[in-house]
Amino acid sequence: MRQSLSNARSLLFVPGDDAYKVDKALNGAADAVVIDLEDAVLRERKDQARTLAVDAVGAARGLGPLVVVRINAPDSRWGAADLADLANTQVDALMLPKATPEALALMPADSAPVIALVETAAGLRSAYEIARDPRVAALALGGADLGAELGLEPLADGAELMYARSRLVVDAAAAGSRRPFDAVHLAATDPGALRAEAVRARALGMGGKLCIHPAQVSVVHEVFTPSKAEVERARRVLAALDEAAAGGAAVAVADGRLVDEPVARQARMTLRLAAVH
């Protein structure tokens, strides 16, 4: 089943000038494929990559993963050309690099849904304003660029990005947006470290993760899809509250723990995510 952007867990980046990798990704298991026209493409190949991206969007025809295109900065000549050539396509979303309110203001009013990549200090400070824009479907964390600007030192447990992750989660929720996408895990061939990072990101409220290698997709899906045990617990929570309500009480006990309406909201979300995945 094709995922909607609101339910997507994995966004897999592929270089926009590599037809083989684009085709492979579009026939893969990721919920969404991000055809990258920005950092992954040399200046002299920008036009070629744009043409490939437009063709790939047309060929997808709503099948397989969602098709997202990361454009160049909209105030650059490449970004302006990206927007012009993609305007008449059925691209599922556009990813805005180094998102700020000022950069977002340069996007067309009738553009495809925007995934705002927050990867600068200015963007992080303005994440709530960005998420409130009706064109913005989701926030995503660009950890590498943000870390470079702030001078962060990578830690084994990813604690250096805890504030940024938490800030995006709070601002997205306050703006009524879906849960943000977490930053890429740069060790493409270390599934154990990826799983640990994804588990921490989910615990902080992230709703999915950016990927840079097809092998990362299955791990991300495993972490961001409710397990059988989580589904069963959610059902027990709701059953216990229903029984309590029938007796005139607003709280109940499930699995030895007190549960109330906030816990029930979490349980309903678990069941909704399990149903769509």
* Region(s) of the chain under CATH 3.20.20.60: 5-224
CATH superfamily of 5-224: Phosphoenolpyruvate-binding domains (3.20.20.60)
Question: How is residue 41 written in tokens?
Answer: 């493409």
197 is in an annotated binding site: no
135 is in an annotated binding site: no
Below-50 pLDDT ranges, the chain = 1
145 is in an annotated binding site: yes
φ and ψ of 99, to 5 deg: -65, 135
In the chain, the amino acid numbered 251 is V
Q: What are 215-251's pLDDT values in tens digits? A: 999 999 999 999 999 999 999 999 999 999 999 999 9
Residue 63's pLDDT is what? 76
Residue pointed to by tokens 């409220």? 205
